[in-house]
Chain A
Amino acid sequence: MNNLDAFIGLLLFLAGAPAFVLQFSSNTARDILLKRQPFAGALTLYGPFTLGVIVFIVLNSLPPSTISESILLYVLIALVLWVCFRTLSYARPTAIIHSELQRALKYIKLKRDFPQIHVNNIVDIGSESNNSEEQRQTLIALQKIAQAYLQCPTYKGNQFEDFIKDLQNILTIQDQEANAENYQIVISIMQSIVEHPQTHPGHSYADQSLAYKTLSALGQQALHFINPQVPILCMNALSTHNTPLSTAASQSLYEIAAAALKQDTPLIAMNALQAIGSAFYAAAPNLPSQEITFDYLALLAAFWQHGSSGQFIARRDLDELRSYPGLNLQQQIELAIEHQREKANFTISDQIEAMWLAYHNKNQSTMLR
């Protein structure tokens, strides 16, 4: 063989590329390539070298000819190019995320099951990274997986518990304003879960319930951001159009609003007041659900604690509530206080009581005058 040195050089490059990849990749990436998916990892890393050696041996065993040398040359160059553009890219975490995403989507399509292994791999890479762009890629990949699995007929409403916790963990790694875009992706995933139609008999509401709580937690976490974008997006996701406001959504809206008032960001609380208040009046002329009434009163009580402007808004709404057809406001207040006490929300029950005493006393003194 005339060009033996060149061929051996190319083969050595193919043999050395995996070492290069492993040298520069993170511990998680190495773990994924070598241990968690040993077959796929070995094929990615050592496949081109193995194929190159086989072709080299086969063609070397044939009688020497320019044709066989040309074939070997083209095959080795093709493998080198493949390694340069494909295998070496595995030194970058985003390439592994992309590859795991494709495998996960394929898994959902073929097995109609949740691709837990691939999700774990993507989550581990995202959690390990300090790079905002890599985290964004991780969350986008997880969003695509969630959307694909929500379309799957085998989805039963209770398979996202760990997944949702993983999403929250990734967000908390970089809890800062620059990360608002990552919050938006997670909010969008939660919205997909809460809006998912419960079509199957016996469908579980576990994921939906957790998604509501997560939206509440994310909204509260993001209250210290300069812009109110994230908390308001959480609220928009909670008061989605597809369904009437659920009691879980109302509770989450209240939680964000109460926290917002504590942090002196009343615009966010006003947003929740619009959502809960509108849900309350949407039931007219019937009485709204008790839970929504309780959350509405609790929110007014939180406003009451927020200075004279907050008290003005609460008084305005209480005045209007008194004229709601068929609603005994005093009785509802008493029920709301009892409800909050039963849930061990003593601060909230005390706030409702304080609001009512002050409101009621002022009304009585006005009447006496």
Chain B
Amino acid sequence: MPPIRILWIEDEALYQLNALMGPVLYNYRTHHIELATTASDAQRLLCQGEYDVIIVDMRIPPGEHPAWKNIYRSQGNDKNKARLGAYLIEWMVGHTTSDQDLPALPHPIPAHCIAIFTAEESKAVQDLLNLGVALYQPKDSNYPDDILIRITERVLQSKSVPYA
């Protein structure tokens, strides 16, 4: 059976949160993880490959692509305010609210493949959950080290259960 393909969009993935990679890499025959640390990286990977589960942080930097840079700039050059993760999810599911010229995805991504893993409060991401995003996991001090695998399993389970 091919491994579950996970894309983790998280700028801290290689800094404070790098330990979270360990459990997924350990199970690399069942879970294959790829990282995007900026919105531009995520866009490039999403245009090139297909993923079963996409885990998105809200506060990510724009990277090199001019469209993401423009959105970032228009929101005050602050990743906490810009919330590029939200724009990215909207772009993935085809409900983009940005007037920037973002490239089209080769395959639309169903919202139920997407999970939000962020330090933001749930009410701040409610509009994204209303789009059909599978789940919201807060980055608090209580999540286990294998959180990425758990999120993945919950997203895959939710695929068979419509989002309420």
- Write the nearest CB–CB distance from A216 to chain B, whole angstroms: 18
Say whether A137 faces chain B, with CB atoms less than 8 Å apart: no
Binding site for A on B (CB under 8 A): 2-3, 14-15, 18-19, 21-22, 25-26, 28-29, 32-35, 45, 48-49, 64
Report yes or no: A227 in contact with B48, Cβ–Cβ below 8 A.
Answer: no
9 additional A-B residue pairs with CB within 8 Å, beyond A227-B18, A277-B29:
A227-B14, A229-B15, A232-B35, A241-B45, A270-B22, A270-B26, A271-B25, A274-B32, A277-B28
Q: Which residues of A contact B32 (CB under 8 A)?
A: 274, 278
Residue pair A274, B25 in contact (C-beta under 8 Å) = yes
B10 to chain A, nearest CB (A): 12
B26 engages A236 (CB within 8 Å): no
Bound Cα distance from A270 to B22, whole angstroms: 8
Establish whether residues B48 and A241, one from each chain, have CB atoms under 8 Å apart when the complex forms: yes
List B contacts of A278 (CB < 8 A).
3, 28, 32
Is A41 part of the contact surface with B, judged by Cβ < 8 Å? no
B18, A236: Cβ atoms closer than 8 Å: no
Cβ of A195 to closest chain B Cβ, rounded Å: 10
Which residues in chain A, 155-191, are within 8 Å of chain B measured between CB atoms? 188
Closest A residue to B27 by beta carbon equals A274
Contacts A242-B48, A278-B3 given; indicate if A228 touches B18 (C-beta within 8 A).
Answer: yes
| Contact flags A277-319 to B (C-beta < 8 A → 1, else 0) | 1100100000000000000000000000000000001000100
User: Complex formed: what's the CA distance from A299 to B137 in Å?
Assistant: 35
A229→B45 CA distance, assembly (Å): 18
Set B22, B33, B45, B48: member contacting A267, Cβ < 8 A: B22
Q: Closest approach, in angstroms, between the C-beta of A180 and any C-beta of chain B?
A: 10
Tell me the bound Cα distance from A143 to B108 in angstroms. 32
Whole-angstrom CA separation of A273 from B15 in the bound complex = 20
Q: With an 8 A cutoff between CB atoms, is A320 at the interface?
A: yes
- Please, how many angstroms separate the alpha-carbon atoms of A267 and B20 in the complex? 10
A77 in contact (CB, < 8 A): no
The minimal Cβ–Cβ distance linking B46 to chain A, given in whole angstroms, is: 10
The answer to whether A229 and B14 touch across the interface, beta carbons within 8 angstroms, is yes
Does residue A34 face the partner (Cβ distance < 8 Å to B)? no
**A236-B44 Cα distance, complex, nearest whole Å:** 13
Binding site for B on A (CB under 8 A): 188, 227-229, 232-233, 236, 241-242, 267, 270-271, 273-274, 277-278, 281, 313, 317, 320
The 4 closest A-B pairs by CB, nearest first: A270-B25, A229-B14, A241-B48, A274-B28
What's the Cα separation between A227 and B19 when bound, in Å? 11
A236 engages B34 (CB within 8 Å): yes
| A residues less than 8 Å from B19 (CB atoms) | 267
| Contacting pair A267 B25 (CB below 8 A) | yes
Q: What chain B residues lie within 8 Å of A242 (beta carbons)?
A: 48
Give Cα distance in the complex from A232 to B49, angstroms: 19
Cα distance A317–B28 in the bound complex, in angstroms: 10
What would be 14 A-B contacts, judged by CB atoms less than 8 Å apart? Answer: A228-B14, A232-B35, A241-B45, A241-B48, A267-B22, A270-B26, A270-B28, A271-B21, A273-B28, A274-B25, A274-B28, A274-B33, A277-B29, A278-B28
Q: Give min CB distance, A240 to chain B, whole Å.
A: 8
Whether the pair B26, A281 counts as a contact (CB closer than 8 A) is no
Q: How far is the CB of B22 from chain A (nearest CB, A)?
A: 6
**Alpha-carbon distance A232/B12, docked complex (angstroms):** 13
Across the interface, which residues of B come within 8 angstroms of A271, CB to CB? Answer: 21, 25
Q: Are A241 and B14 in contact (CB under 8 A)?
A: no
Neighbouring B residues of A233 by C-beta, 8 Å: 14
Chain B, residue nearest A226 (CB): B15
Contacts of A281 in B (CB 8 A): 2, 29
Q: How far is the CA of A305 from the CA of B15 in the complex (A)?
A: 27
CA distance A267 to B145 in the complex (A): 14
Chain A proximity of B127: nearest CB distance (Å):
31
Complex formed: what's the CA distance from A320 to B64 in Å? 41
**Which of B25, B45, B64: most chain A CB closer than 10 A?**
B25
Q: How far is the CA of A273 from the CA of B33 in the complex (A)?
A: 12
Q: Are A227 and B15 in contact (CB under 8 A)?
A: yes
Complex CA–CA separation, A267 to B2 (angstroms): 22
Find the B residue at minimum CB distance from A239. B34
